[in-house]
Each structure stands twice: as structure tokens, then as C-alpha cells.
Structure 1
């Protein structure tokens, strides 16, 4: 049995936004291609950063922490920009879902915390878990707030 559209959940596309629903239905290969292309770029950037800044199993994973926090900052800014100035139908899937979704890595975050516990550093794991969640939430809020203010200033409107 299928559910009505209002009950289906797709984390990559907001079916309540007519542009998302229409583009995905009209050109599913283009949307998926944009996500895949962006994902490759984001994952390569993440892999490069993690290779440049390795850490021991008991050490704080600064590379992944920086990746997740900076990615969340950019996601907040991107959503503010796209809310204020809608772009083409493939911009959000490419940049938001693809590039930034491939760049951020909360699965690695969990694996690294688990490895720290297994290596005998539960304090590091707990600090990493808490700092990442707090840092990511603050980064999304900051990216949205700063971008919203800059856009309002540039457009002569009010800050969000």
C-alpha cells in the first residue's frame, strides 16, 4: 500500500516545496546526477582533509570535527541564500545534498568516537561527541544568521 505524498519522507528533497516535487518528478535523472556529481566533489574534499590531518585512535579527530562544523556552517549559509534568492532547480541538490552532504560525515564521527572508546579514551570520545553536536548546531545557526544579515544588508531588506 502506498502512502499519500504528504506522508512520504525523503531527506534529500522537500516534497512540500513545489519546485522540488516538480523537478524530481520531471527530471529524476538530472536531480540524481546533480547529487551524485556534488557528492563526489564533497567526498574528495573530505578525504583530502582527513588525509592531511590524521590522528591516533586515542586523539581528538580534529579533521572530522572541522569538516562537520565547517560543512554545517556552509549548509546554514546555503539555505539562507537559497531561501532569499531562489536559484535553479539543481542548485540545492548539487550543493546542499551532494557537495555538502558528501563533505560532512557524521558516520565517521560515530566510528571515530567508538574507536576512541575501544582504544581506552572514553573521555576523548565523550568530548568529541558533545563538541561535534554543539559545534554543528551552532554552525548551522551562525551560517544562516550571518548569511541572512548579509543578504538583507545587500538587498536593503530586514535581517532575518
Structure 2
């Protein structure tokens, strides 16, 4: 049963990742990978919220599997983040490569903490 929840979440997360990336990136004429950045930050926020809700007893283990493991696992992408950063560096856009690493880590952590704090505020 648990694996079905993960699969169901991933079936939503994977296409959502692709569509969001293409939509966001098409609106920016920049070398910076705004699509992947947006997806990873949004996924961190969702995961922080789900984890915080579970810690407060407001979300079950099944919800964690569906949304945390399935949806967020398929939505977010460390491999694409790494690949895009490497491509930026190899193409001579070192500033964008460093900015991608620093901004992604800082914004991702900030979003996760914000999601957890929001969960604590909603479910004390």
C-alpha cells in the first residue's frame, strides 16, 4: 500500500516539475536556471509544511509518503540542479554557477524552515 502512495505522488510531481520548469524558464531570458530554482524552493516549502504537520500530529504517515516522498521526491531535483550548475561553470558563467549554488541552498533551507514554521503556527 505504501508504495502506491509514493507512486501516486510521483505521478503528479514529475509532470508538474516539467511543466513548471518550462513555464518559468520561458519567461526569463537568462542563463540562470530559474525553473529548477523555483521548483526546488517550492518543493522545500511543501516538504517543510508536510514534515511540520506530521510532527504536530496533523498529517499521517500516509500523507508523508504521498506528498513528502512521492510528490516532493519527483518534483524537486538535485541532479538537474547539479548538472545546470556544472554547465554554467563549464560555459564560463561562473558567477551564475556560484549564484545558483548559494541562492538554491539558502532559499531551499529558508523555504523548508518557513514551511515548518507555518505548520507550527497552523497546528500548535
Please identify runs of 4+ aligned residues in structure 1 that moved more than 2 A: 53-56, 85-90
Name stretches of at least 5 consecutive residues in structure 2 with no aligned partner: none
What is the alpha-carbon root mean square deviation over aligned residues? Answer: 1.7
Structure 1 segments unaligned to the other structure (5+ residues): 1-29, 153-160
SS at structure 2 position matched to 1:60: coil
Please identify which structure carries the higher helix content. Answer: 2
The question of whether the paired residues in 1 share the 8 Å contact of 2:58 and 2:123 is answered with no
Q: Give the paired residue count.
A: 122
Could you tell me which of 44, 62, 72 is aligned with 2:15? 44
Give distance in 2, aligned partners of 1:139 and 1:133: 10
- What TM-score, normalized by structure 2, do the two folds share? 0.89
TM-score, normalization by structure 1: 0.70
> Residues 127, 89 of structure 1: CA spacing in aligned structure 2 closer, same or farther, 3 A cutoff?
closer
Distance 1:134 1:115 in 2: 21
Higher relative contact order (CA 8 A, sep 6+): 2
Give the structure 1 partner of residue 113 of structure 2.
141
| CA deviation string 1:32-81 (max 9, x = no partner) | 1211121121011000011213379x711111111111110111111111
Partner of 1:85: 57
Task: State the alpha-carbon separation in 2 of the partners of residues 121 and 49 from structure 1.
Answer: 24
